[in-house]
Amino acid sequence: MADSQGDSAVSMDFENAPMLFEHQPVMLREILEAFQILEDGLFFDATIGGGGHAEALLAAAPGRELVGVDRDKAAVEVASSRLKRFGDRVQVHHARFDQIGAILENDDRPLNGAIFDLGVSSHQLDTPERGFSHRFTSPLDMRMDLSDSLNASTVVNNYDEDELARILRDNSDERFARRIARSIVAARPIESTTELAELVRSAVPAATRRTGRHPAMRTFQAIRIAVNGELDLIEPAIKQIIERLRPGGRIVVLSYHSGEDRIVKQVFREAADGVCVCPSTLPCICGSESSVKLLRRKVVRPTPEEIEANPRAGSARFRAAERLSLGEA
């Protein structure tokens, strides 16, 4: 069973890992344009993955330095190797992105820019042993950090029907959440990704099975998000970054589904509008004011040309904001 596996569950050939992580960084042109006016200073890559965005940011301006994190040890190894040529301009840590406070605790440099590339990486999807994809037969795992105790097997085989249905609705807007949850509970124990994928296919209406996407994609997404607590980390991490940014510093976030984007949009809008907590019948005395300005009010999507070249970029949503000086709004 997957829940008995530790780090040994994935045998990673780090000598060939850069090749395995090779992919086109999503919306790279838009990201470089957002940071173009910031030619030096410290940048934070909250999801460094294979290091593609970080490499481009560092190569574009020799005055930039970067601290990157990833909760996947394989990504940390690959990014460290890929960015080695930049020497002491870059540091890569194995950590969650909401741990920025601890990572930069003894670093008093102001933060000039930050990037979040949320969701699952191409490497994680394409490594069968990790259990992220319905396309391969593997144990139910889906952990981004293999030292975590909770995995997909525990969620699938131990959570009750109500909790499974809630996870499917909240994490992936699954229309047939109750039907799928009921089928999962009835079929236990479920041991592999392909078992789960076929179970979901059987649970949904026949018309849904005939659509282009595999009907289990939303279920796999929802369970992965639950295993890794992904949505719970976004708001505190972005707020920490905004607080740390110097005036004029910028933050860019790429999200890939509506749940992520709703959180990013809300945090950005609250920071841009200022959130008064005073009663509506009284004058404001809480001192609430805007801390950022949105670089664009509407979400930006990849160009058709990028989606054609990199289909996995198709669901990306780009949002960006700039830190304001106190009293600037």
- Each residue's pLDDT tens digit, 93-104: 999 999 998 998
Non-local (6+) Cβ contacts of 45 within 8 A are: 53, 54, 57, 66, 67, 68, 69, 114, 115
- CATH (residue range 17-122+230-323): 3.40.50.150
| pLDDT greater than 60 at residue 295 | yes
> Taking a C-beta distance cutoff of 8 angstroms, is the pair 206, 156 a contact?
no
The packing angle between helices 217-228 and 193-203, to 10°, is 130
Report how far residue 250's alpha carbon sits from residue 112's, in angstroms, rounded to the nearest whole number.
7
Non-local (6+) Cβ contacts of 4 within 8 A are: none
Q: Look at residue 13 and give its three-state secondary structure.
A: coil
Question: Tokens 């005036």 map to which residue?
Answer: 247
Non-local (6+) Cβ contacts of 157 within 8 A are: 140, 188, 189, 190
Non-local (6+) Cβ contacts of 218 within 8 A are: 168, 172, 173, 174
122 pLDDT tier (thresholds 50, 70, 90): confident
| pLDDT greater than 50 at residue 120 | yes
Q: What is the pLDDT of residue 262?
A: 96
Q: What percent of the chain has pLDDT over 90?
A: 78
Q: What is the pLDDT of residue 278?
A: 65
* Range(s) of the chain covered by CATH 1.10.150.170: 146-228
> Taking a C-beta distance cutoff of 8 angstroms, is the pair 107, 4 a contact?
no
* Range(s) of the chain covered by CATH 3.40.50.150: 17-122+230-323
DSSP secondary structure code for residue 192 in this structure: B
Report how far residue 214's alpha carbon sits from residue 135's, in angstroms, rounded to the nearest whole number.
9
> Taking a C-beta distance cutoff of 8 angstroms, is the pair 224, 299 a contact?
no
Report how far residue 198's alpha carbon sits from residue 192's, in angstroms, rounded to the nearest whole number.
10
**Which of 220, 292, 237 is CA-nearest to residue 69?**
237
5 pLDDT tier (thresholds 50, 70, 90): very low
* Residue 189 amino acid letter: P
- CATH (residue range 146-228): 1.10.150.170
> Taking a C-beta distance cutoff of 8 angstroms, is the pair 174, 205 a contact?
no
Report how far residue 205's alpha carbon sits from residue 182's, in angstroms, rounded to the nearest whole number.
14
**Which of 148, 145, 143, 160 is CA-nearest to residue 223?**
143
Q: What is the pLDDT of residue 6?
A: 32
The packing angle between helices 161-172 and 258-273, to 10°, is 60
